[in-house]
């Protein structure tokens, strides 16, 4: 909405509360609900929060002891009415410091900066996300799939038709356009494909969609999870990203039908993709940000070849429709990734490839991917170029938060260890 439209909605009395939301560095939604009159006061100066919210680990424990203040400044263009709540709206925000400059840990501001930097070179990207998620129940305290429907079956769509109907209705009511939704490979697993648009808008849409999927599931007494591998016996959840390289007038610049390598890619796109592949081990820490993420890459059907090609095992796939649509697939991410941080890392890596004039062979594995989060974090920490682009404070904080997860995980005694070793030596 435009500012005048939002003010008109507020004056009309249709809204009593407004949720002012921001994404933390890990991609979690944080915020608070304001009375309408208090929200109106915040439109210029923002809402004051403790900086501690940007340093919360996976257990919501802060990793620092001293904090200043931050301000969440509402982005009026993201103002929407929450369709399943009465008289309640929601708006996303940028995070600033006390002097009104972008906070170094605001990944939404970071994505804006990366888009601007790409624009200085005369380019832009269009993006569409395709996350996968499970619907689950709990039985005897353990999560189980909400249905037993088969892959891509009409049975699966029938099993959850009321949930899916309302989900699409709610998404479209907040201007998130759905292209496809299907029953995915595992019991209780669903995949949703959103329409293509501007990078910032689509990252916003993904943050919003994850909330709406969660809330709609609860309305049907179900739970949704974007955990990459919640069940060892069933396929994992991923998030493909469809990307189109365009110029600043939105004209495709990624297609060259005379490409001698046969994929139909332009020289500039080869450089952009070569940059992504040069930094791919670092990007993996952001695209696959949990310990659980790396169990996904052990599956036969999961893309795990760091290269470019037509086959689905390449992490950058050039589909058969590429010459017509100019859209390639990035197949490395999982649905828990922070979309602002992930797109920023890819854009900056692509810029690095363009500025260096890099090139890359096709149908060939150009590098070996890290096999666990600890290794990926080491690669990110060692990537001075990407750290410079993303900001040292942001990268260092991200790594510290993730190292806390690894430290806690390595202290755990798992059921597998008990079953395997308890009776050893008896």
Q: What is the pLDDT of residues 246-283, one digit of tens each?
A: 999 999 999 999 999 999 999 999 999 999 999 999 99
Does 418 fall in a domain? no
Per DSSP, the three-state class of 133 is strand
Based on the domain organization, do 51 and 126 belong to the same domain? Answer: no
Distance CA 229, CA 334 (A): 10
Q: Which of 81, 105, 129 is the last residue of a domain?
A: 105
Domain coverage including residue 143:
113-392
Between 368 and 210, the more confident residue is: 210
Q: What is the pLDDT of residues 107-127, one digit of tens each?
A: 999 999 999 999 999 999 999
Residue 251 is assigned to a structural domain of this protein: yes
Do residue 27 and residue 61 come from a single domain? yes
CATH number of domain containing 56: 3.10.20.70
Please check whether residue 425 lies inside any domain of the structure: no
pTM over 0.75: yes
Number of independent structural domains in the chain: 2
User: In whole angstroms, how far apart are CA 159 and each of 121, 250, 336?
Assistant: 49, 40, 25
Long-range Cβ contacts of 205-208 (<8 Å, 24+ apart): 205/129, 205/175, 205/176, 206/129, 206/131, 206/339, 207/21, 207/23, 207/27, 207/29, 207/92, 207/339, 208/80, 208/90, 208/92, 208/174, 208/176
Do 134 and 215 fall within a single domain? yes
Structure tokens at 39: 């929200």
pLDDT, mean of residues 150-168:
88
Question: What span, in angstroms and rounded, lies between the C-alpha atoms of 304 and 314?
Answer: 6
Q: What is the DSSP letter of 56?
A: B
47 found inside a domain: yes
Is residue 318 scored above 80 in pLDDT?
A: yes
Give residue-wise pLDDT tens across range 169-204: 999 999 999 999 998 999 999 999 999 999 999 999
**Whether residue 95 sits in one domain with residue 125:** no
Neighbours of 370 (CB within 10 A): 20
Are residue 158 and residue 290 in the same domain, yes or no? yes
**With 90 as the cut, is the pLDDT of residue 67 above it?**
no
Note whether residue 21 is domain-resident: yes
Tokens of 112: 């804006």
Reported as a pLDDT band with limits 50, 70 and 90, residue 299 is confident
Q: Which two tokens stand for residue 392?
A: 């040292």
Q: Is residue 404 part of a domain?
A: no
Residues 76 and 145 reside in one and the same domain: no
pLDDT, tens digit, 9 for 90 and up, residues 10-62 = 888 889 999 999 999 999 999 999 999 999 888 888 999 999 999 999 999 99
Mean pLDDT of 135-146: 93
Please determine, for residue 6, whether its predicted confidence score (pLDDT) is greater than 90: no
Q: Is residue 416 part of a domain?
A: no
Q: Specify the CATH number for the domain of residue 283.
A: 3.30.590.10
Residues 195 and 311 in one domain: yes
Q: Are residues 22 and 93 in the same domain?
A: yes
Of 105, 127, 150, which marks where a domain is finished? 105
Say what angle helices 373-382 and 280-287 make with each other, to 10 degrees: 130
Residue 339 confidence class, pLDDT cut points 50, 70, 90: very high
Same domain, 156 and 301: yes
- DSSP codes of every residue in 224-239: EE--S-S-TTS----E
In this structure, the answer to whether residues 242 and 380 fall within a common structural domain is yes
Last-in-domain residue among 54, 88, 105: 105
What is the per-residue pLDDT for 4? 78
- Burial environment of residue 425 by CB neighbours within 10 A (0 to 12, 13 to 18, 19 or more): exposed
- Percent of the chain residues topping a pLDDT of 70: 99
Write the DSSP string, 65-81.
S---EEEEEE-GGG-EE
Q: Average pLDDT in the 101-109 region?
A: 97
Indicate if the pLDDT at residue 163 is higher than 80.
Answer: yes
Quote the pLDDT of residue 2.
Answer: 74
Does residue 157 sit in the same domain as residue 265? yes
Same domain assignment for residues 85 and 210: no
Predicted pLDDT of residue 149 = 86
Please indicate, yes or no, if residue 423 is contained in any of the structural domains: no
């Amino acid at each position: 909405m435009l500012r005048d439209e939002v003010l008109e909605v507020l004056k009309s009395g249709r809204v009593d509360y407004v949720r002012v939301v921001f994404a933390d560095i890990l991609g979690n939604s944080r915020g608070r609900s304001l009375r309408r009159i208090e929200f109106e006061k915040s439109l210029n100066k923002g809402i004051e929060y403790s900086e501690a919210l940007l340093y919360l680990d996976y257990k919501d424990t802060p990793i620092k002891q001293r904090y200043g203040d931050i301000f969440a400044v509402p982005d009026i263009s993201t103002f929407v009415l929450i369709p399943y709540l009465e008289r309640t709206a929601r708006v996303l925000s940028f995070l600033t410091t006390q002097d009104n400059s972008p906070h170094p840990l605001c990944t939404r501001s970071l994505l804006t900066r990366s888009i601007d930097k790409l624009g200085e070179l005369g380019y832009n990207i269009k993006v569409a996300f395709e996350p996968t998620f499970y619907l689950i129940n709990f039985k005897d305290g353990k999560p189980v799939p909400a249905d037993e429907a088969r892959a891509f079956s009409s049975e699966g769509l029938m099993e959850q038709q009321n949930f899916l109907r309302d989900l699409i209705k709610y998404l479209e009511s907040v201007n998130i356009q759905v292209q496809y939704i299907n029953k995915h490979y595992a019991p209780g697993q669903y995949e949703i494909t959103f329409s293509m648009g501007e990078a910032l808008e689509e990252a916003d849409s993904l943050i919003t969609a994850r909330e709406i999927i969660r809330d709609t599931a609860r309305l049907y007494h179900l739970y949704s999870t974007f955990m990459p591998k919640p069940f060892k016996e069933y396929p994992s959840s991923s998030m493909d990203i469809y990307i189109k390289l365009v110029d600043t007038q939105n004209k495709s610049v990624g297609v060259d039908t005379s490409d001698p390598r046969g994929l139909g890619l332009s020289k500039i796109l080869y450089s952009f993709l070569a940059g992504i592949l040069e930094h791919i081990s670092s990007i993996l820490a952001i695209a696959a940000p949990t310990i659980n993420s790396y169990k996904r890459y052990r599956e036969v059907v999961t893309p795990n070849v760091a290269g470019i090609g037509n086959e689905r095992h390449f992490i950058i796939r050039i589909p058969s429709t590429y010459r017509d649509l100019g859209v390639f697939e990035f197949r490395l991410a999982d649905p828990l990734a922070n979309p602002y941080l992930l797109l920023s890392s890819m854009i900056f890596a692509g810029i690095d490839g363009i500025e260096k004039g890099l090139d890359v062979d096709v149908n060939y594995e150009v590098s070996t991917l890290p096999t666990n989060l600890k290794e990926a974090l080491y690669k990110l920490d060692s990537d001075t170029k990407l750290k410079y682009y993303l900001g040292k404070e942001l990268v260092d904080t991200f790594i510290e938060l993730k190292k806390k997860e690894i430290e806690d995980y390595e202290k755990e005694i798992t059921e597998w260890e008990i079953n395997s070793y308890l009776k050893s030596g008896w």
